Each structure stands twice: as structure tokens, then as C-alpha cells.
Chain A
Amino acid sequence: MKTYKYLFLLIGISIFGCSDLEEEPVGLLAPDGFFNTVDDIETAANGAYGHMTHEDFWGRKMSLTLMLRGDMVDIGDPTTSTRRIEHNEFNVPTDNGMISGYWLRVYQMIAAANQAIAGADDVNVADEIKNPMTARAYFARAFAYFHLVRQFGDIPYIDAPITDLEASSSISKTSAADVYANIIADLQFAKTWLPDTQIARSIPAKSAAHSYLALVYLTIGDYQNAYTEAKGVIDNESVYNLGLEADFQSLFDASQIDNSVEPIFTLDFIGASNGDDGRDYQAALTGLRDDEQYGLGGGWSVGVPSLEVYNTWDGRDYRKAVSLDTTGVFDGVLQPYQVFRESGAGRGVNRPHIAKYTRAIGETATGNGRGSNANYMMIRYAEVLLIAAEAHNEISGGSAEAMGYVNRVRARARNSNGVTSGLFPEDIAGLSQDALRDVILEERKWELAFEFKRWYDIARRQLGSDVFSASGLEGDKPNFDPSQDYLFPLPAQELARNPNLLPQNPGY
């Protein structure tokens, strides 16, 4: 019958679906079969570096935590979130929101690095071709674990992609000593294979691995190796294309830092971001509330140096002027720090504010200087000189060589606007081992002020009882307990997820 014609036509177009229901994702990558070329290793290693610029890590959470734990930056706005104040006051609960905020991010960095390192095994080319790329992942992994081990001591240590979920979910902690050994091994690999220089300092070169080795050895008190590695960097100054920037101010100028020889490894924010991915907040956190001078819409006055920082910092030191803002502009009028609060809407703080992250950060993605163009220097050449000085002073007390390194840093500090315009800070000479040790730590304090280094110096040198006493820069911190506070608490949530990570760090 004729009508069947229509019917079969419809049935024909209808029953075309008989599917096996297998999912074949397009545009989503799966680990299987991903790694074929050196470019694939780079893609995977890049992931690790992407996490470093997230708000969770250097954008805000970890960097601010380190800043507030030190003795130089105090809470400005008292209504800021409790989780920040807890670090400033050494009153950190085990579920502190800063720690739980960045813990995951650091391990994401590690997972990405592990993926790149494991994936490199699948790439069938000679070591000479692929290892320089894989070395970036080794460096990233060492960089991440180095932060964790300094903050938490014994930690869960993962060095391969997760294949057995259950086994990986129930591991125990690895001792800090073993973690350090692994960090050193990773950095040795990186130092061996990374090229002497890269096209940008945001990609680690041999100099980065070399310098970090020095810092790692310094941290664990292996001064001989710290000196050897730091000296190795200094000896290769020209091979690595390193030097000191003539004008200290240029280090904090987003328009100049890209071409500077002083940074060794940087996190390069680009004034654009995807939400909190790739967005930094230091300008907002440290900027002066309601201030108009940089056109950023003012900051939030969250991390503001204690007044003693300003008072004890020699006014002749050019670095003080670079590092701090003592004036702000309100309603078009220049006002001194003594009236910051009254000049704005009442949440300002009458103390000089940090200028390193507000004065010349370039275009920002959004208001208050969030999403800036700043390059954050994870390590720069001046620090390598100070590492060499500190390490050499320990193995050869009061050495002229050690003092020489300090004097190089000081000489640059005398260059105001790039020309020598003062006599301060003067060169040092003839100091005893103990005196020199103090001078070097002081030098690190001012030279690297607000660069997130101070807490680690306090912790590795166990300075807490001194710097958090009534005579410290921030005044008495009664909650500081040297038997507890050099380590942070492991996130309570993580201990609950895997009880094999117990015990919690002492005191928490």
C-alpha cells in the first residue's frame, strides 16, 4: 500500500541511533597517549607554573600568610578576615582558611610537575633533547615542596601521577629530611639539564636551580654546600647573565623588570587574569585605603608595616624610600601618614604603607591594583650574594669574602635613581663572626623587605623569641610559642581525609 511508503521513510530516518554509549571527549585531554613530543612535556610543565600565579598561591593566600607571619608587616584593617589575623597573632587553628586555601594549590603544582616528569618517559627522544624541558618540571616540584617542607615539616610526598587512588589516599608523611633530600635531587637534575639562560626569567634557567640549591642548603644549615652553590652562581654571573640592577626602584617597576638582569626566577603577572587564576592582590592588600596617587582606586590597608619598621629603618637608606610610602593623596591633597585614616573614609591606617607593589605596577586587570603586571621575584641576585655571605661567614667566621658580598649589595643600595648619591649604607669591614651574622640577617631584612622572605629567615634562624618579644618591631606577640609556631598546622581537613598523616604538628 502506498501509505507504507511514508511510514518506512519515517522509520528510516528515525532508527539511526544504535550506540555503544562510549564517551569520546573532544577538546578534553586525557592522560593516556598524551605525551609524544617535547612540546607535550612543556605543556604539562607549564601547568605547574600556572598554579603558581593563582590567587591561592602567590596571588594572595600563601604570599600574604608569609608576609603576616613575619615581624615587619602587621594587620592594618582590623576588620579583615580572621584567617589572616590568626597568622599575624600566632593563633592559628588547624582549620585555618589560608592554609587550607593554598594547600591544595601547591599539590596541584606538584601533580602537574609529576605528570610532566612521568610523561617524559613516554617521549621517545634522546635525554639531551627532552631533559632540558623535563627539568622545568623538576624545578617546579622542588620549588613547591621547598615551600611545604619549610612550613609544615613532615608532609605527604607524592612524586608520580596517581594511579592507585586507594594506596595514594592512605600514605603516611615523609620526614622533612627525606623531603629535603628529594628537593635537592630534583634541583640537581634541574641544574644539570636546564640551559644557562632562558628567554625570560619566568622560565627557570640553570641559574634558578643553582640559586635555589644554595637557598635550600642554607635553610637546612649545610653552610658548606650553601656556599659552594652560591659561589657557583656568582662565578657564573656572566654565563647566567646576572647582575645587580643599578637603581633599586627599578626592581619594583613593572615596565623595567622584564629586562632586568637581577631577577633569577620570577612569577610574571600580566595585568590580565581569569577570575582568580593568574590574579595577584598585593597592591590591594598592601595599598593605602582611599589613596588616589596611583590611580588604582586605593588599596585595602590589610598588610601594613608596624610603625617600628619605619622608625627603626635608617632614613638615609634609599631602600626605605623605595619600600615605603609615607604620603598619600586624598581628595587631591597630599597627606602625611599621620592622618591617613582621617583623610580617607575611616578604614585607613596611620602608618607608612608598603610601596613595592603599588608604586609602579603598570596596568591592572581590575580595581585596587588587583591583577597587576608585577613580576614577583622568587629569588634575585642580591639574595644569592647574601646567601654566599651568610654561608661563608659560618664556615669561615668574619671573612672578608663574606663582607665583600654584603658590600656589593650595599653599594647598589647607595645608588639613588641609579647614581651614587649618599654614603649610606656604608661598607662593612672587620666584623666578628657573630657580628657579621647579625649584620647579614639585618641586611636581608631591609634589602628583601616585604618580599616574603622574612618569615623563613626567622624560622630557619629560630629568631622568634627575640623578634616577637616586646622589643620586636610589632611589639609583644604573647601567643608566639617557639616549640610550636615555627611550623604551621597541617590542615585538619586533610588529616581527617587521611588519618595516616597523623600526628598533627606539635602544639596544634
Chain B
Amino acid sequence: MQKQLKNLKVKWIPILVFTLFGFALNAQQTVTGKVTSASDGMSLPGVNIVVKGTTQGASTDLDGMYSINVPSQESILVFSYLGFTTQEIAVGSRTEINVALADDAAQLNEIVVVGYGSRKKSDLTGAVSSVNSKELTAFPLLDASQALQGRAAGVVVQSNNGGEPGAPINIQIRGNTSIGASSNPLIVVDGFVGAVFPQPADIASMEILKDASATAIYGSRGANGVVLVTTKKGSKGKLTVEINSNYSTQNTTNELDLLNADQFAAYQTTLNSGYTQGDANTDWQDLLYRNGSTQNHQFSFSGGSEKVNFYASTNYFKQEGVIVNSEFERISFLANVDAEVTDKLKLGMNLFGSRGNQDGVPTQSTGQTANGGGDDVVSLTFRFAPDLGIKDENGNNTINSVGDNVDNPYAIATEGVNSTKNDNFRANLYADYEILEGLSFKTTFGYSTRNQNFGLFRPSTLIVTAGGGTGGSATIQNLKNTNILSENYLTYNREVGKGDLTLLAGYSYQKNTTETFSAGAQGFTSDSFSFSNLGSGAVQLIPTSSFSETEIQSQFGRINFDWDDKYLFTATVRRDGSSNFAKNEKYAIFPSGAIGWKISNEEFMQGIEQISNLKLRASYGVTGNQGIAPYGSLATFGSVFTPINGQTVINVTPGQVANPDLKWESSYQTNIGLDIGLLDNRISLSLDYYNIDTKDLIIADTSQPQYLGFLNPASLRNVGEINNRGFEINLNTRNISNENFTWTTDFNWSTNKNEFVTLLNGEDIFQDASPGYFNIDRTHVLREGESVGVFWGYEYQGVYQGGDLPAGTGLLPGAEAGDQLFTDLDGDGEITPGDDQKIIGDPTPNWTFGITNNFTYKNFDLNIFFQGSQGGDIMNLTAVQLFNGDSNATTDILNSWTPTNTDTNIPRARLRGKEISSRFVEDGSYIRLKNIAIGYNLPLELVEKIGLDGVRVSISAQNLLTITDYSGLDPEVNFLGSGGSGNQNTFNGFDFGNYPTVKSFNFAVNLRF
């Protein structure tokens, strides 16, 4: 079943053939009409209209109306407007021409936000991808970061836990640059470093800074890339009020075909002749899964006078997950105000606040044998015996009749409480003063805070998870994080001959503090207390609390120099000091430089009409990653749970050894890019090649002898090097653009090769993603010359048919005919851990892509977005569990080997260890119809009659179609090891117990007045 997808790319070629063109022609004398935006039907004021080849022109008024005299029927009108595709229309015999202009994603004059400033897109020297507000709102998103998936080359976005309501989203730019430190990019919202994403509908644009030239201005936090988010601002003119509402229903994309009660009992009887069938027939998937829903309502208003403009919105989001009892609810607000106090002084403020309320169910097996992996409802749904009901004859929740004792998943989902509340608040003030012409000073002061309350309760009715008859257990955890940021910088701009010079110099200080507190108790007199009455518990667990603080102070500067609009030069430097690092290594300098050459502006290119833009870019620079916890370099004490004389007592134990030389990881990145615009930029193509060497990787030093006795036996150390190199393509085409019909295509494709160059002493680092009760130690390995987290295990050679062993193969101890045959790597005749295990798969995809087609026809528009991944392997741990004998199984088990059914790849039914082998490695390639949406803008005449400015309705579907050979539920897997605690950098491609991915159908209304 593996590797059959190799020739998949051939299937994709038809989808990639999209470049078609269409024009229409006509002519007359005085022409009037209205210009609107094709995407939302809004009238466009100030659109420039000229008669082609003349100086005759006009522009539209506030309502988008225009009137122009034309010399003849052969005249051609050219409609142009910033941010929209220029449209040429032959007049012909018409007197009224209404025009809908299409958005222009590839607009070269577009202003792109970069760190501490902005640049014209055509003047960029670095690798920057943009996602515009339209893409952000094309379909409902839980989190704005999801809009990056498939939209920007080199950016990988994945939910931490499938379709779980409120699950965090992970973003990775240009591969994994770290093992021990974070691999997530820096998020900067309206200049606030380290913010949370605002609501998608509040975002004007997102820029993804990828190469060192773009990110080095963020120094020791730039190595994983930077996402710059700019929220919407008001503009002069009348008040605009907008209401967006959408509602969607969701269900699981897929279910496993499990044995029913009779099949299950028959199967178990072959393993244990004494098995007695239970009297129920329960489809646990049916019980646990339901139709979920989301609703999202946003109300915003914006506007401005000559001197002051504002934008404010409030948003309500609610999701009922597809697993019973899982929900997420969020209320948020955002307000931006900007004021011109004088000609020279601008003041402004951004405010953001949100409350998220997540009621979860436990997923991602905690896998501790302590719980038998028994509190993960997703994997239990598959494991649990179908011949048991929810309650036994005594009215107690049933416990599995095979395998480890575990409570049934329905009881865990519905009776346990798992609640997380998150409050976020952020305020950012700025003042911008023009000291002299060309020289301005900007100062910002920001404050953000996050409060998280987590509560967990396991009632006494959950016999196994809560402990036999202990009266339930409850835990609360609080976290408070506060972030203060002050930034001050000067910007100087002047023209020098044919050149344009921009200088930036600044100082920044940021302080981040985190306080945590937790407490717990067991043995309550009533299950009704939940976690809200810890004091009544008979057994009090030791409360914990902690405080940590990180400071960063920096100086930074940048020079941009453009000569004759042909040669572009950028140099940046940032000096960062971070408290997280050791005494001897507090400061470092991160420089970068880049050049750009606008070849198309050279004399010799002027004759070539087809090429409208040609630019070569090259950059090199150093960025850092300081994403490790504070105090990592200090010698400390830790403590352990110490019961003495029936109670716990305070204690200390040596925690870690000091490392006075611990410092950040440094990435040395080269980027070479080419931007090509053809046929008046109807086709625009960007190509980027990059190479990133990340050195001084922070690795837990497991080479330190354990007899030293530290609580953390592997202290952090700067050893190791990782390399990422790749190639990215962004292609935007305007295939058809005329009065009634437009068709644009955005395509991106990227490939990233990731390789460990150096690891500590060249030694393999083995890791284990499997749930603890699997009782195996290794599922993947970090090895020099290999990519991150390649799978580790036996090589499966099919079913042993009895008799002589095929050459080079062997069996596990105790195996007989019908059991698994493995490659005997060391040739010693037996299969033993270590000696006969090897790399059996690589979860890193060869390439990923996204393709969006947008069509508009009159008032209709259609968005089709495919996204896919090719060549990444998946380790199907769910299948390891389900073929193991101590749980329910998929119907594939009915085809297992028997003396009369020998032509099968599935070994005989029996209880066996949960060995990891290539048998469970599958190709995880997929193509997914991420979104299909049809929108309709009500005709303006009709809308205006009811007193509105615009009405849009749309229906859409997400994840409607997935093409994959993967046998599990969904190829976008994200099991992060026991309790979801695994390292996101190195735990890739594991499928087990994560919340299912959902398919959704959505209806949305947008009103403007």
C-alpha cells in the first residue's frame, strides 16, 4: 500500500494547465458609467480613466461614477486603480460602460510592510510573501494563521490537534531549523513583537519574511522567519459599517471500518477461547462523533475625518466540535485609532482583547502507562470493545474487556471536565514625529497580557482514570504572561542624485514575565464540585508555582539605497542582548546584506515588450533563535514529590549544572531570487532558492554521564548543525480579464531538504513518539545526514509461511507460521531490537503546493483552492494498536493469515508486542480541495433600494475532497507523542489519537452600510 503515489504528479499536470486568455473589443462619443470592485461590488472612488494613446482623462467620484468624452468608436478606455488590475475596454457604440475591476494580487506598486517600515513591492530585495485580506476571508478560519496554509511558498501550517475546537496552530517557515529551541516564526502585529493573531476579518495584510535580509532586523528572534500582520485602519470618508456572519456545519472527513460486536467476539475468541461476548453492539465512532458547527459574527465600523481615522470591530466565534462535549467560544475586539495632531506629529493606538473558552475532551493519548493510555477518547473510540455498552448491568461505566483496563470513551468525553480559558489583551501606542523633512522619529510603547486558566476534573464515575473509588480528582493551573515592549527609531529618507536613500536606526527593549500556579486534590465527597472546590478533597496534591522573566534589549539599523530604479541595496544589523543566555554570551550581532537588480529597467531591455518586469535578488545574513526557556544556563535545584510519614514534604535535589557559555542558535542564510513579469504583468513569477545553515544548535547534552545525578541529566549545549535548502515558486496569472469575466490563478510550490549536518559526537538521538503503554523506546531517530525525525523500526517482509526462513529474514522470539517476518539485518538468525532496526521512512514531504483559482462573472465569484503534499511518510500508530490483538480492529483483520488464507500481508491474529516496523509506514501524499466557495454580490440597484452599500452572500465547503492512498483517517496527521508533549520540531508524521480533521459546509452573509 506504500509508495504507489509516486506517479501522482502526472495526475496534477492537467490542473496546472490554466493559462488561457480572453479579450473583448468595441467603440463611441460621451461615455458614463460606474466602476466597482469585482470582488465585493463596492463602488471605487478616484479610479483613473484615460483614453488610450491620448492625454484625455477623468476619474470617478465618491460613488464610483464617471463621465468622459471619447474621440471615436475605436477608442479604448484604460481603467486603472491602485491595487487593482488595469482594464482596457474598447468603447464601440456604447454610452454606458460599467466596469468591475479585479484585485491585483501581483501589483508591483503595492506597499509591503517590512520590519520597522515599508517598501514598494518592486523595491524588495528579500524573500517576502504576502497574504491579502481577501485570501484571509475566503473561508471561515478559526485562526488567521490557517490562512497561510498553501498560500505562501515555503510556509507549512498545521493544527496541533486536527479539527479540535481551539487547538493551537503551528507555523513553520522554510523547514525546521532547530531541535531544542522553538521552530515557530516570530509574530509581529502592528509592530508589536510576539503578539497573538487578531481575527482574520480585521487583518489588512500579512507578510511573511523568509530570508535573512528581511528577518535580520529581528536579530536573535528572526531565524524561523517573521510574520508581520497589519490590521485594518479607517480611511477618510463616510462611516462604513460592516456585518459579517457565517455559519457552518462540520463532520469528520472519515471513519475507520471497525469490527462490529459479532465480528469482534469471533476475533477475540480466536485469541482466547474463553472470551464471552458482551450483550451490546456499540459503534463507538457513531456515539462519539456528531455534526459539529461553527458560527462567526463580526461587526465592524470604520471611517475618519481629515485628521482622525478609526477602525473598530468585535467578533464572536463559537465552534461545537465533531466530538461530543468539545467546544470553543471566543469573543474579541479590536480598535485602531490614528490622529494627525499637527502636520508633523501623528499619534495612534491599537487595542486588542479576546476571551477564549475551550471545553475539551482528552485527545492525543497521555500514553502514560499510569493511565493505560486510557484517557484519550479518539484512540479509545477505535480500541474499545464494541460488544460493551456505555453502562454495565450495575449502571457503572464500562471498562474495556480486552487489553489494559480503560474507561469507555463516551464516559470520558461526557463526564470528565477539561476547560481552558484564555484572556488576551494588548495595547500599543505610538507617536510619529517629523523632525525635519525626510527625518522622522517613531516611538511605540506596548503592553500585552495573557491569562490562562486550566481546569481538569475526573469524576469518580471514571473508574480507571480517576482511580478505583477515590472520589474523583481535580487539577487547576493558572498562567499569567505579561509582555512590555518599547521601541524607538529614526527614519531618514532623501534623494541623492539618481538614488534614493533610506536610513533606519533604533533601540528596543522588551520584558516578558510568566507566572504559573497549580493545585490539585483527590477524593471528593461529590462529583458536582468539578474542579471548583479543591479544598474539599481528601487528598491534597502539592501546589506548585513559578515565576520567570526574560529581557531583550537591542539596537538595530538599516540602509536602503536604490540607484536609478535599477540597483537596489539593503543592509541591516541588529545587536541583541538576551537575559536567557549565559553570562559570557549575553550579546550578539546579526548582520545581513542584499542586492537587487531591476534588469527590466535597463536600456537594453526596453525593446522587449513581453517582459514587463525582471528582477534579480540576492541576500545573505545571520539570524538567531533564542527560543529556549529562561534560566537554562544557571545551576539550579529542582524538587521531587516526596512522601514521608504520610504526607509530602519540601525538598531539593540538584537540578542542572551551570553552562556559562550557552547562547542562541545562529542561522546563516543565502537567498537568490528572480522576479519575472510577462505581458504587462499578467503573468508574474517569483523563484527563490535558499540555503540555511543553522549552527550552534541547542541540544540536550545526553553525553553527560547520568551518575552525576542531576534531575535534568542532559543540560543544554550549543552543539550541532542543521541545514535546510529549498526552492520556491510563486506564480500569479490573470488568465482572463474583461468586463464580465475574470479568471486569476495563484500557484505556489516549494520543496525543502532538511539534513542534520552535525549532532553531538555524531551520535544518533533516538526518540519515542508512541504512547507509553506501547512499551517501546524508539519510533524515530535524529541522525547525521538524515532529515529530521526519520522513522525507526524493523523492516517488514510479509507473513512467515512456515518452514525454512527466506534468506536474510528472521522472526521475533516465539513467532510461528503466520507471524511477521522481518529483515535480519545483522544476520544472526534472530530479530532483536537495535541490531535489526533501521530507518524505515521519512515524514518530510518532497514538496508541497497550493493552487487557487478565482473566477468572477458579473456578480458571481468562485474560489477553488487545492493544497497538497507529496512524498512524506506517515507512521500509522493507530494501526499498530489495532492489529495488536488487545483492542478492537479494522475489518482488515478478517483477512489475516490463517493456514487456509496464506496469500495476505496481514499476519495471523494474535496478541503481540506493538513492534514498530515498515508494515505501518505509509505514503502520506495527498491533494486536498481545501476550499470551494461561490459568492454573489447583490446588484447595487437592489442593495441601494434597501439602504445598504453592499450585500454579499456566499456558500463554501472546506476539505470536501481528499485524494490520498493513506489508509488512516486523514493524511494531515499531528500526533505529538504522549500527552501532545512531544517536540514539534522532531515529532513528525505520527498518526494516533489526534482530534479528527473536519469537513465543513459554510454559509456567509456580508452586509455593508
Within 8 A of B (CB), among A42-91: 43-51, 53-54, 78-82
Which of B551, B652, B657, B833 sits near A165, CB closer than 8 Å? B657
Which of A11, A30, A276, A369 sits near B468, CB closer than 8 Å? A369
> Given A169-B704, A203-B644: A346 and B272 within 8 A (CB)?
yes
Which of A18, A34, A161, A270 sits near B553, CB closer than 8 Å? A18
For the complex formed, measure the closest distance between the CB of A25 and the CB atoms of chain B, giving whole angstroms: 5
**A50 touching B653, Cβ below 8 Å:** yes
**A497 touching B703, Cβ below 8 Å:** yes
**A115 touching B470, Cβ below 8 Å:** no
**B463 touching A169, Cβ below 8 Å:** no
What is the interface size of chain A, counting residues whose CB is below 8 A from a CB of the partner?
Answer: 109
**B370 touching A275, Cβ below 8 Å:** yes
Flag A271-282 by CB within 8 Å of B: 1 or 0 each. 111111111010
> Given A6-B431, A25-B631: A277 and B833 within 8 A (CB)?
no
**A162 touching B275, Cβ below 8 Å:** no
> Given A48-B653, A363-B539, A494-B705: A82 and B631 within 8 A (CB)?
no
Among B401, B523, B706, the most chain A Cβ lie within 10 Å of the Cβ of: B706
**A15 touching B578, Cβ below 8 Å:** no
**B652 touching A277, Cβ below 8 Å:** no
**A278 touching B642, Cβ below 8 Å:** yes
> Given A17-B511, A158-B707: A81 and B630 within 8 A (CB)?
no
Q: How far is the CA of A93 from the CA of B836 in the complex (A)?
A: 14
Which of chain A's residues have a CB closer than 8 A to the CB of B404? 300
A246 touches B (CB below 8 Å):
no
A19 touches B (CB below 8 Å):
yes
Which of A19, A168, A501 sits near B708, CB closer than 8 Å? A168
Flag B263-276 by CB within 8 Å of A: 1 or 0 each. 00000100111110
> Given A54-B640, A346-B274: A10 and B706 within 8 A (CB)?
no
Q: How far is the CA of A31 from the CA of B464 in the complex (A)?
A: 41
Which of B507, B523, B647 sits near A363, CB closer than 8 Å? B523
> Given A79-B886, A277-B640, A346-B402: A162 and B652 within 8 A (CB)?
no
Which of B271, B637, B703 sits near A28, CB closer than 8 Å? B637
A110 touches B (CB below 8 Å):
yes
Among A34, A82, A367, the most chain B Cβ lie within 10 Å of the Cβ of: A367
A432 touches B (CB below 8 Å):
no
Within 8 A of A (CB), among B717-744: none
B697 touches A (CB below 8 Å):
no
Q: How far is the CA of A6 from the CA of B430 in the complex (A)?
A: 11
Within 8 A of B (CB), among A153-178: 155-156, 158, 161-162, 165, 168-169
**A297 touching B399, Cβ below 8 Å:** yes
For the residues of A in contact with B, the DSSP-based class is loop
Q: How far is the CA of A279 from the CA of B772 in the complex (A)?
A: 15
A131 touches B (CB below 8 Å):
no
Within 8 A of B (CB), among A108-125: 108-112, 114-115
Which of chain A's residues have a CB closer than 8 A to the CB of B510? 17
**B646 touching A270, Cβ below 8 Å:** yes
Flag A340-356 by CB within 8 Å of B: 1 or 0 each. 01110111000000000
Q: How far is the CA of A43 from the CA of B541 in the complex (A)?
A: 18
**B652 touching A43, Cβ below 8 Å:** yes
Which of A46, A269, A298, A345 sits near B402, CB closer than 8 Å? A345
Q: How far is the CA of A343 from the CA of B878 in the complex (A)?
A: 29
Flag A12-39 by CB within 8 Å of B: 1 or 0 each. 0111111101111111111110100000
> Given A17-B486, A346-B272, A365-B470: A47 and B640 within 8 A (CB)?
yes
Which of A45, A97, A347, A366 sits near B777, CB closer than 8 Å? A97
Q: How far is the CA of A7 from the CA of B341 in the complex (A)?
A: 11
**A345 touching B275, Cβ below 8 Å:** yes
Which of chain B's residues have a CB closer than 8 A to the CB of A474? none
A199 touches B (CB below 8 Å):
yes
Which of chain B's residues have a CB closer than 8 A to the CB of A200? 644-646
Within 8 A of A (CB), among B221-249: none
Q: How far is the CA of A28 from the CA of B886 in the complex (A)?
A: 45
**A169 touching B705, Cβ below 8 Å:** yes
- Which of B87-95, B342-350, B497-505 contacts the other chain? B342-350
**A21 touching B541, Cβ below 8 Å:** no
**A367 touching B545, Cβ below 8 Å:** no
Which of B468, B509, B511 sits near A295, CB closer than 8 Å? B468
B54 touches A (CB below 8 Å):
no
Which of chain B's residues have a CB closer than 8 A to the CB of A32? 635
A498 touches B (CB below 8 Å):
yes
Flag A362-381 by CB within 8 Å of B: 1 or 0 each. 01111111110000000000
Closest to B467 in A: A366
Which of chain B's residues have a CB closer than 8 A to the CB of A366? 370-371, 464-468, 470, 473
> Given A25-B548, A43-B650, A279-B370: A202 and B645 within 8 A (CB)?
yes
**B341 touching A3, Cβ below 8 Å:** yes
Which of chain B's residues have a CB closer than 8 A to the CB of A48? 653
Q: How far is the CA of A295 from the CA of B471 in the complex (A)?
A: 13
**A10 touching B443, Cβ below 8 Å:** yes
**A108 touching B710, Cβ below 8 Å:** yes
Q: How far is the CA of A297 from the CA of B462 in the complex (A)?
A: 11
Q: How far is the CA of A30 from the CA of B631 in the complex (A)?
A: 11
What is the interface size of chain B, counting residues whose CB is below 8 A from a CB of the partner?
Answer: 113
Q: How far is the CA of A23 from the CA of B433 in the complex (A)?
A: 36
A390 touches B (CB below 8 Å):
no
A103 touches B (CB below 8 Å):
yes
Among A19, A108, A270, the most chain B Cβ lie within 10 Å of the Cβ of: A108
Closest to A46 in B: B651
For the complex formed, measure the closest distance between the CB of B637 and the CB atoms of chain A, giving whole angstroms: 4
Which of chain B's residues have a CB closer than 8 A to the CB of A47? 639-640, 642, 651-653
Which of chain B's residues have a CB closer than 8 A to the CB of A25? 548, 630-631, 634, 636
Which of chain A's residues have a CB closer than 8 A to the CB of B464? 297, 366-368
**B647 touching A276, Cβ below 8 Å:** no
Which of A81, A115, A202 sits near B653, CB closer than 8 Å? A115
Q: How far is the CA of A82 from the CA of B702 in the complex (A)?
A: 24
**B641 touching A367, Cβ below 8 Å:** no
Among B466, B467, B488, the most chain A Cβ lie within 10 Å of the Cβ of: B467
**A23 touching B630, Cβ below 8 Å:** yes
Closest to B463 in A: A297
Within 8 A of A (CB), among B514-564: 522-523, 538-539, 541-542, 545-549, 551, 553
B713 touches A (CB below 8 Å):
yes
**B709 touching A108, Cβ below 8 Å:** yes
A296 touches B (CB below 8 Å):
yes
**A7 touching B371, Cβ below 8 Å:** no
Q: A50-B639, A363-B538, A497-B704 given. 19 additional CB < 8 A pairs?
A: A3-B341, A16-B486, A30-B636, A30-B637, A34-B637, A45-B651, A47-B639, A47-B642, A78-B814, A93-B834, A104-B706, A278-B642, A297-B468, A300-B404, A346-B274, A365-B470, A366-B371, A367-B465, A496-B763
Question: 30 interchain pairs (CB within 8 A)?
Answer: A7-B431, A15-B509, A16-B509, A17-B484, A17-B509, A27-B546, A27-B547, A28-B546, A28-B631, A46-B642, A47-B653, A50-B641, A79-B886, A81-B775, A82-B913, A111-B710, A268-B643, A270-B648, A274-B641, A294-B468, A345-B272, A345-B403, A347-B272, A364-B467, A366-B371, A366-B473, A367-B468, A368-B464, A494-B706, A498-B705
Interface residues of B (CB under 8 A from A): 268, 271-275, 341-342, 344-345, 347, 368-372, 374, 399, 401-405, 429-431, 433, 441, 443-445, 463-470, 473, 484, 486-488, 507, 509-511, 522-523, 538-539, 541-542, 545-549, 551, 553, 577-580, 586, 630-631, 633-637, 639-655, 657, 702-711, 713, 763, 775, 777, 814, 832-834, 886, 911-913
Closest 3 CB pairs of A and B: A346-B272, A111-B709, A50-B642
Interface residues of A (CB under 8 A from B): 3, 6-7, 10-11, 13-19, 21-32, 34, 43-51, 53-54, 78-82, 93, 95, 97, 103-104, 107-112, 114-115, 155-156, 158, 161-162, 165, 168-169, 199-200, 202-203, 258, 268-279, 281, 294-298, 300, 339, 341-343, 345-347, 363-371, 491, 493-494, 496-498, 501
